[in-house]
Structure 1
């Protein structure tokens, strides 16, 4: 269980650093009460991760293990290559990519901050690489440990986003985070491929 928790936590934390969900948290926290922003983000991630592990667990029981492992290895490899490519492009440019458009949220009422944050994060992350990765991990590991590790990882990145704020985003070296998450995804893909051969 600790292995599943640790792997899920590490993969999700690295993959989400500098990702759109963290940028959304930064933008919202710059304009709205940070505590409610964080609560809304954590609730959204908890729900999305529950959906992901439920889908992953169901697939694991319906499909042959070799198919599930193959699909998971391919997904991890694709995400790893995408992250490495993004990090490499940022490295070539000698600077980080500009922040993603997070839309104007200044009209959101303070009484609706949690709901608005929940909606933005849920829409932004539904079907994202992180959710698909959680689903893939839940086919191999204990789903409760995967859910807990992924949710805590996402909660931590959201909290960092809220604390850092939009002003500090320009100073972060996001290319290193993209490269590190890419390598980690590829290592996981390789580990699953080895299991298929063995």
Structure 2
């Protein structure tokens, strides 16, 4: 349960104000069809985070516990710093809109998550916890917790969230995880 709950909390907070949350807002405004967008987010996240978790599990099997501990601890510190930087959207993604809400969401979310802080966090969490399925479930749930309200409520929710405070809380959680790993 620790892998599930921690993965959910970390990704949900890190995702607020992230480019994929902005993408969810744009898709919701563009298509006004929340369910295909939500299903696209779900499938794209499961696929992307399963790949990330597999990489994390592989990495944990390739290094000694000491090297892994320092790498993970420092990775969480780097993700904490990265969390404090607001994301923006690329205009080149608009070409996928012609394929409909589900396909556009599926492809754009999968691509937007490549190298994103939540994907890197998934790699680190999977390297830390042996239960990769719980990590995938937790990071996916965290993505949904952050993005589904944006899809359903549009500008109403996004405009009223204190993004700087949420980014700071998420960064503190990543620093805490880094300290936990290093001091464990």
> Which has more radius of gyration?
1
Work out whether residues 44 and 109 of structure 2, in 8 Å CA contact, stay in contact via their aligned partners in 1. Answer: yes
Where does residue 55 of structure 1 map in the other structure?
Answer: 55
Alignment of 1:54-133 (within 5 A): 54-84=54-84, 86=85, 100-101=88-89, 103=91, 105=94, 108-109=97-98, 112-133=100-121
8 Å CA contact 1:53–1:134 kept in 2: the answer is yes
2: CA distance, partners of 1:172 / 1:100: 17
Structure 2 residue aligned with 1:188: 177
Q: Which runs of 4+ in 1 moved over 2 A?
A: 81-84, 99-109, 166-172
Deviation at 1:81, TM superposition (A): 2.6
C-alpha deviation, 1:185, in angstroms: 0.4
Coordinate RMSD, CA, aligned: 2.0
Specify the alignment match of 1:21 in structure 2.
20
Gap regions ≥5 residues in structure 1: 87-96
SS of 2:128's equivalent in the other structure is coil
Aligned partners of 1:183 and 1:161: how far apart in 2? 24
Normalising by the residue count of structure 2, what TM-score does the alignment of the two structures yield? 0.90
What is residue 45 of structure 1 aligned with on the other side? 45
The structural deviation recorded for 1:107 is 7.6
SS at 1:139 equivalent: helix
TM-score scaled by length of structure 1: 0.84
Q: CA deviation at 1:172?
A: 2.3
- Deviations along 1:83-107, one digit per CA (max 9) or x if unpaired, are 34x4xxxxxxxxxx7x833537498
SS at match of 1:172: coil
What displacement does 1:146 show?
Answer: 0.7
Aligned twin of 1:94: none
Task: State the aligned residue count.
Answer: 181
Q: Over residues 143-164 of structure 1, what are the superposed CA-to-partner deviations in whole Å (9 max), with x where a residue is unaligned?
A: 1111111111112212012022
- Asked if the contact 2:83/2:117 (under 8 Å) is kept, the reply is no
C-alpha offsets along residues 108-155 of structure 1, whole Å, 9 cap, x if unaligned?
Answer: 24x632111111111111011111111111112111111111111112
Any gaps of 5 or more consecutive residues in structure 2? none
